[in-house]
A and B are shown apart, each in its own frame.
Chain A
């Protein structure tokens, strides 16, 4: 399909392991966003990119979290030394315009992370 694709859809890992979550945005979309959504809550901003440049990472909880988008398309969110409090739905979104413009965000179906 032509939507935002995320993988894996479900990830169960043990505390202390590293995980990598992948996002493939809609083709041609300039900006890419990572949000985290806890159960019963709205998405919470983590970070965003214009093309390959990370514009804002103020929402990343701590230095165990990092994200990259090396070629301006696919992005990876990496969580090192996972902790139980990292368990959540991680959502990727993309938008046609740059991060300076406000336009429709297209969300993927998310990656559900469970840390045991």
Chain B
């Protein structure tokens, strides 16, 4: 079993929809949680960063962490075609030795 599980999708939604992306993990030592966005043929870019449990909002994006359930989520409101990408969850116990999920492919149709 992988340390971080993420449904690879693809997830296809109409423009304007609310998107929910999720990851589960098994290592209770993880305390830093990130979401990276990766466009085709590009490197991952940091989208959201959360320490420990709780919510964090940035524009149309909201990240949630539930350490008791070992479950993290990313919500995208009013999704746009430009949001079409692969979304990777990542986490670490300390520092930037990150463990990534497999990534979820998101397609937003106009």
Using a CB–CB distance below 8 Å, which chain A residues touch chain B? 4, 31, 33, 40-45, 48, 56, 91, 93, 95, 98-105, 107-110
Please indicate the chain B residues that have their CB under 8 angstroms from the CB of A100 in the complex.
94-95
Using a CB–CB distance below 8 Å, which chain B residues touch chain A? 4, 6, 8, 32, 41-46, 49, 51, 88, 90, 92, 94-103
Closest 7 CB pairs of A and B: A42-B100, A107-B43, A102-B32, A104-B46, A99-B95, A42-B88, A107-B44
Pair A42/B101 contact, Cβ less than 8 Å: yes
Give bound CA distance, A109 to B8, whole Å. 21
Tell me the smallest distance from the CB of B16 to a CB of chain A, in Å.
Answer: 28
Pair B42/A31 contact, Cβ less than 8 Å: no
- For B4, B32, B100, which residue has the most chain A Cβ atoms within 10 angstroms? B100
Query: 15 A–B contact pairs at CB < 8 A?
Result: A40-B103, A42-B4, A42-B6, A45-B98, A48-B97, A99-B95, A99-B97, A102-B32, A102-B49, A102-B51, A105-B44, A105-B46, A108-B43, A109-B41, A110-B43
Give bound CA distance, A62 to B91, whole Å. 24
- For A33, A43, A45, which residue has the most chain B Cβ atoms within 10 angstroms? A43
Interface of A is mostly: loop
Give bound CA distance, A1 to B103, whole Å. 27
Tell me the smallest distance from the CB of B78 to a CB of chain A, in Å.
Answer: 25
Give bound CA distance, A9 to B106, whole Å. 26
**New A-B pairs, 17, CB < 8 Å, besides A44-B100, A105-B98, A107-B43:** A40-B103, A42-B4, A42-B90, A42-B100, A43-B98, A45-B98, A48-B97, A93-B43, A98-B95, A99-B97, A100-B95, A101-B95, A101-B96, A103-B96, A105-B44, A107-B44, A108-B43
Pair B41/A45 contact, Cβ less than 8 Å: no
* Nearest chain B residue, comparing its CB with the CB of A98: B95
Pair B102/A4 contact, Cβ less than 8 Å: no
Please indicate the chain B residues that have their CB under 8 angstroms from the CB of A40 in the complex.
8, 102-103
* Nearest chain A residue, comparing its CB with the CB of B92: A102
* Nearest chain B residue, comparing its CB with the CB of A43: B100
Tell me the smallest distance from the CB of B37 to a CB of chain A, in Å.
Answer: 11
Pair A43/B92 contact, Cβ less than 8 Å: no
